[in-house]
């Protein structure tokens, strides 16, 4: 069974694909490539998943045995904190034991090179090649230093915040830590800023308190929404297991989609904080972000799905905000990696600075720029349906889909079929599961739902016809 990296590392079911022996093979390959580049220091850590702390400690000793100077997190650590430690200390990379939002049975390795952002495709293919060849680094004499990496991060993150607006704001926040590594960090920062915080699922639990899909999307934050309503909180915030993804609930208990939060935040960063530069989004993210950027005379860059592409744009410089619909963002010269903690802190600041909740602020945004509706549905693929989709939509330029005329096709990632001024359908094939991901955008919720229904019906007919 080959070890293959996906859009964000190598993941597998524990004890089936993800075994200690295979972990060591990946670690050895990373170590060999770093030594070839004469990068002899590395940051190692992991989240709260089963075996993550033990694997991090074992890997630290293994890398020290190859001559590396290892900075080891003293406990479960968010992904953006590990990235920050790498950049701050000028280290050669990060080995991070996490499967992010995957089900509890999974764990994984996420490798980030010197810049702290996700490894690009060329680098992960090099790792896969070395694994296949089976070569190991030579023995050396290194060391392991254990440190709480969250302290430096907590101090440095203040540069992106305005502490004054939190004072005497009466901000009340409910935080769902999803039994993950963000607990004790995000809530502590908010308390130190003067906020009142109630924490849900703050204790480490590799089973995520029974959650089969520990992702802070709309369904995953349903309990948080109820707690916001019952407690009269100003907002609710959530981070996933490794705290790179965010979820936000407004003052009315409504889920604030990343499709709406990202343009709202961009507008705030420009008008209130005075930031200037480029906005970056993935191709599956709402084009409402483009409208805000255009209104302020700024450029928008659209990338394929995966923060490694957005992070690459950040490394070029002059980026205000980089974000994607799956709940990831970063800003300015911060880490070129998703940071759910920063996303939640900025949402809290926006409430304090505006003196109103996010629902009220969004109404103003929609009044000025219009509203855009985006939904996603995943369709299970068998061989025949996959072949049909590939042949009709990926290997040719379709003139119609589900009876709707296609004006043009954008192949930034998958096939995005433009139907009208704001209406489009995007089809991507998952790289890790037998799924076709279907995204639809429209200025009308009814039109979006109708388009999505027609596309799903077409694919189901094709599958049932075989």
CB 380: neighbour CB atoms within 10 A? 11
pTM for this one?
0.95
**Distances in whole angstroms, Cα of residue 162 to Cα of each of 125, 251, 277:** 42, 21, 20
Residue-level pLDDT, tens digit, the chain, 466 residues: 789 998 789 999 999 999 999 999 999 999 999 999 999 999 999 999 999 999 999 999 999 999 999 999 999 999 999 999 999 999 999 999 999 989 999 999 999 999 999 999 999 999 999 999 999 999 999 999 999 999 999 999 999 999 999 999 999 999 999 999 999 999 999 999 999 999 999 999 999 999 988 999 999 999 999 999 999 999 999 999 999 999 999 999 999 999 999 999 999 999 999 999 999 999 999 999 999 999 999 999 999 999 999 999 999 999 999 999 999 999 999 999 999 999 999 999 999 999 999 999 999 999 999 999 999 999 988 878 888 899 999 999 999 998 889 999 999 999 999 998 889 999 998 766 788 999 999 999 999 999 999 999 988 887 766 5
The bridge status of strand 408-410 relative to strand 41-46 is: unpaired
d(CA 159, CA 181): 22
d(CA 304, CA 205): 33
d(CA 11, CA 106): 7
209 secondary structure, DSSP code: G
Q: What is the pLDDT of residue 31?
A: 97
| Tokens of residue 465, six digits | 């016809």
d(CA 146, CA 150): 12
Q: Is 256 left (phi over 0), alpha (psi -120 to 50) or beta?
A: beta
d(CA 451, CA 445): 10
d(CA 321, CA 291): 14
Domains and CATH numbers, the chain: 10-149 (3.40.120.10), 169-369 (3.40.120.10), 373-465 (3.30.310.50)
Which secondary-structure segment (H or E) carries 130?
Answer: helix 121-133
Q: Is 134 helix (H, G, I), strand (E, B) or coil?
A: coil
Helices and strands (DSSP H and E) totals, the chain: 15, 21
């Amino acid at each position: 069974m080959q070890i293959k990296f996906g859009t964000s590392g190598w993941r597998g079911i524990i004890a089936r694909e993800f075994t200690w022996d295979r972990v060591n093979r990946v670690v050895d390959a990373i170590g060999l490539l770093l030594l070839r580049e004469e990068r002899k220091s590395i940051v190692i850590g992991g989240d709260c998943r089963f075996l993550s702390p033990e694997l991090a400690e074992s890997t630290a000793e293994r890398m020290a045995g190859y001559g590396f100077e290892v900075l080891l997190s003293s406990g479960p650590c968010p992904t953006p904190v590990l990235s920050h430690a790498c950049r701050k200390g000028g280290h050669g990379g990060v080995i991070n034991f996490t499967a992010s939002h995957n089900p509890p049975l999974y764990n994984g390795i996420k490798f980030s090179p010197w810049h702290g952002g996700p490894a690009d495709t060329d680098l992960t293919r090099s790792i896969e090649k070395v694994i296949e060849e089976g070569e190991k680094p030579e023995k050396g004499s290194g060391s392991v230093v254990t440190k709480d990496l969250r302290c430096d991060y907590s101090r440095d993150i203040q540069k992106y915040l305005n502490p004054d607006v939190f004072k005497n704001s009466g901000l009340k926040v409910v935080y769902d830590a999803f039994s993950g590594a963000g607990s004790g960090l995000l809530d502590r920062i908010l308390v130190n800023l003067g906020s009142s915080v109630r924490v849900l699922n703050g204790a480490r639990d590799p089973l995520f308190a029974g959650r089969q899909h520990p992702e802070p999307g709309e369904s995953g934050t349903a309990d948080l929404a109820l707690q916001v309503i019952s407690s009269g909180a100003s907002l609710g915030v959530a981070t996933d297991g490794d705290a790179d993804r965010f979820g936000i609930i407004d003052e009315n208990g409504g889920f604030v989609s990343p499709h709406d939060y990202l343009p709202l935040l961009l507008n705030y960063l420009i008008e209130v904080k005075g930031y200037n530069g480029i906005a970056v989004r993935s191709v599956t993210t709402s084009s409402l972000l483009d409208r805000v950027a255009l209104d302020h005379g700024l450029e928008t860059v659209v990338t394929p799905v995966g923060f490694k592409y957005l992070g690459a744009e950040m490394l070029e410089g002059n980026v205000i905000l980089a974000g994607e619909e799956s709940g990831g963002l970063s800003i300015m010269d911060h880490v070129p990696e998703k940071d759910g903690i920063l996303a939640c802190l900025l949402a809290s600041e926006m409430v304090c600075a505006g003196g109103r909740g996010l629902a009220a602020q969004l109404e103003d945004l929609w009044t000025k720029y219009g509203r855009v509706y985006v939904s996603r549905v995943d369709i299970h693929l068998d061989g025949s349906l996959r072949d049909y989709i590939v042949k009709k939509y990926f290997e040719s330029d379709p003139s119609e889909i589900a009876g709707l005329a296609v004006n043009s096709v954008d192949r930034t990632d998958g096939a995005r079929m433009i139907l009208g001024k704001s209406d489009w359908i995007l089809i991507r094939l998952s790289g890790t599961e037998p799924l076709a991901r279907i995204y639809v955008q429209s200025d009308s919720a009814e039109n979006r739902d109708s388009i999505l229904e027609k596309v799903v019906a077409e694919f189901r007919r094709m599958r049932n016809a075989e």
